Amino acid sequence: MALTFPMTPNPAPRADAERAEILSNPGFGQKFSDHMVVSIWREGSGWGDGEVKAYGPFQLDPAAAVLHYAQEIFEGMKAYRHEDGSVWTFRPEKNAARFNRSANRLALPEIDENDFVESLKALVKADESWVPAFDAGEASLYLRPFMFASEAFLGVRPSREVTYCVIASPAGAYFKGGVKPVSLWLSRDYSRAGVGGTGAAKCGGNYASSLAAQIEANERGCDQSVFLDSVEGKYVEELGGMNVFFVTKDGELVTPQLTGTILEGVTRDSILELAKDLGLTPVERRVTIEEWIEGCNDGTISEIFACGTAAVVTPVGRLVWTDGEVTSGPEGEAGPYATKIREALLAIQKGTAEDTRGWMTRL
Ligand code: COI
């Protein structure tokens, strides 16, 4: 039976002036809207009805399994305001399907795809005033559905109580520099994921394991780290939280193929589709780090960019390793294809281009 998400309004929502101040410069992931969705699953009885209630801290037992064994998954999506004032999201069925694949990998319960989408609708209905205006550029309301083991129990087994929650956060550019090219640190000491591990799942543990490399990157003056495969340390996988693409001088758009250790990005999948509209040939294959370095040096690679829901399309300007570096794309700005792909994607999301593939869902 479909879940319902009845609403108990926040008795103390933020004043209009405070919300307007937040929306005028949202940054990424720092401020949160007035409500959240919560639903609890219990072994034997399944999902209980959800609720939309005031955003606020959970009361969590110190023995809650998630705090000890990291049984947790999440998604990242965005709500966009169109010119007529309506609010839409992008390919939510893809996120719902990935959420359930992640749930299976982390031994968490699945949630019906319709219930997942209804939970987003319920939250956006409650907090519609938090969706940035149509003319606020790429600003959107970032939606973060997540699920975690909330049973208080220290034995290692799948939790018998699980909490599903959706929160929302107004979002501008993910990186401080906006769409300026970012620099990447090549992590040689750390891998993000191993064969048979959780690399393809969107679980908190993958992001936790990227953080030591992120510290290295920041110490080297870089924005993000890039990971290689854990077996040979040879093939490019992904960044700490984004997929990566290479534009070749021959008009190919190349991205590392999905090997089970790479996140199946919804933005990644969409860009592979859009590439054809822009005259690029999409290619999914293994890419070696030598190829990256040589391609930048000999001009075979003309542009590199990273992508994800949060970062949209972000150009990569520099790759740095212990005793060297290479640059890619025009200095200090996005390359022509990164710009075109970013614009094409945002135009569909903001409703200024026709949605010929049926990617948008009204919230
Ligand atoms: C997203 O792009 O939505 C993610 O979940 C990645 C995270 C680094 C913000």
- Set out the domains of the chain in order of their start, with CATH numbers: 16-171 (3.30.470.10), 182-350 (3.20.10.10)
| Gap from CA of 1 to ligand 1 centroid (Å) | 31
- Yes or no: say if 130 and 17 are a contact pair by the CB < 8 Å rule: no
State residue 138's pLDDT score. Answer: 86
Asked whether residue 66 carries a pLDDT value surpassing 90, the answer given is yes
273-325 confidence digits (pLDDT tens): 999 999 999 999 999 999 999 999 999 999 999 999 988 999 999 999 999 99
Instruction: Return the minimum-mean-pLDDT range out of 141-145, 151-155, 191-195, 214-218.
Output: 191-195
State residue 241's pLDDT score. Answer: 86
> Distance of alpha carbon 159 from its chain centroid, rounded?
25
Runs of H (alpha helix) within 194-239:
204-208, 211-219
Is ligand 1 within 6 A of the CB of residue 307?
A: no
State residue 235's pLDDT score. Answer: 96
Rounded-to-integer distance, Cα 177 and Cα 182, Å? 8
**Residue to substitute in 144, 174, 226 for testing ligand 1 pocket (most ligand atoms within 8 angstroms of CB):** 174
pLDDT-derived band at 329 (thresholds 50, 70, 90) equals confident
Residue 176 makes CB contacts below 8 A (sequence gap 6+) with none
Asked whether residue 176 carries a pLDDT value surpassing 90, the answer given is no
> Distance of alpha carbon 38 from its chain centroid, rounded?
21
Atom of ligand 1 nearest to the CA of 310: 2
Is ligand 1 within 6 A of the CB of residue 309?
A: yes
- Average pLDDT in the 229-234 region? 94
- Yes or no: say if 308 and 265 are a contact pair by the CB < 8 Å rule: yes
Rounded-to-integer distance, Cα 338 and Cα 328, Å? 12
3-class SS of residue 255: strand
- Average pLDDT in the 197-223 region? 95
Bigger pLDDT: 28 or 176? Answer: 28
User: DSSP class of residue 135?
Assistant: T
| Gap from CA of 210 to ligand 1 centroid (Å) | 13
Rounded-to-integer distance, Cα 163 and Cα 295, Å? 47
Is ligand 1 within 6 A of the CB of residue 204?
A: no
In sequence order, the β-bridge partners of residue 78 are 142
Atom of ligand 1 nearest to the CA of 267: 2
pTM for the model:
0.95
- Average pLDDT in the 51-68 region? 97
State residue 48's pLDDT score. Answer: 92
Asked whether residue 99 carries a pLDDT value surpassing 90, the answer given is yes
| Among 58, 133, 121, CA closest to 92 | 121
Q: Are strands 140-149 and 77-81 parallel, antiparallel or unpaired?
A: antiparallel
State residue 173's pLDDT score. Answer: 76
Is ligand 1 within 6 A of the CB of residue 145?
A: no
**Residue to substitute in 309, 313, 345 for testing ligand 1 pocket (most ligand atoms within 8 angstroms of CB):** 309
State residue 104's pLDDT score. Answer: 98
pLDDT-derived band at 187 (thresholds 50, 70, 90) equals confident
Is ligand 1 within 6 A of the CB of residue 92?
A: no
State residue 232's pLDDT score. Answer: 94
Q: Which residues of 261-282 are buried (b: 16+ CB within 10 A; e: fewer)?
A: bbbbbbbbbbbbebbeeeebee
Identity of the residue numbered 30: Q
State residue 308's pLDDT score. Answer: 94
Average pLDDT of the chain to the nearest whole number: 95
Is ligand 1 within 6 A of the CB of residue 308?
A: yes
Bigger pLDDT: 142 or 175? Answer: 142
Residue 138 makes CB contacts below 8 A (sequence gap 6+) with 172, 173, 312, 346, 350
Residue 50 makes CB contacts below 8 A (sequence gap 6+) with 3, 4, 5, 37, 38, 39, 115, 119, 122, 164
Asked whether residue 253 carries a pLDDT value surpassing 90, the answer given is yes
Environment class of residue 50 by beta-carbon count within 10 Å: exposed (0-12), middle (13-18) or buried (19+)?
A: buried
Atom of ligand 1 nearest to the CA of 74: 5
| Among 297, 321, 298, 307, CA closest to 228 | 321
pLDDT-derived band at 179 (thresholds 50, 70, 90) equals confident
Is ligand 1 within 6 A of the CB of residue 140?
A: no
- Average pLDDT in the 134-138 region? 90
Residue nearest to atom 7 of ligand 1 (CA): 241
- Average pLDDT in the 86-102 region? 98
pLDDT-derived band at 174 (thresholds 50, 70, 90) equals confident
Asked whether residue 5 carries a pLDDT value surpassing 70, the answer given is yes
Rounded-to-integer distance, Cα 333 and Cα 36, Å? 38
State residue 177's pLDDT score. Answer: 66
User: DSSP class of residue 279?
Assistant: T
Tokens 């809207």 identify what position?
A: 33
Q: What is the ipTM of this complex?
A: 0.94
Is ligand 1 within 6 A of the CB of residue 310?
A: yes
Asked whether residue 139 carries a pLDDT value surpassing 70, the answer given is yes
| Gap from CA of 240 to ligand 1 centroid (Å) | 9
State residue 178's pLDDT score. Answer: 65
| Gap from CA of 76 to ligand 1 centroid (Å) | 6
Rounded-to-integer distance, Cα 316 and Cα 309, Å? 16
SS3 content of the chain, % helix, strand, coil (to 5): 25, 30, 45
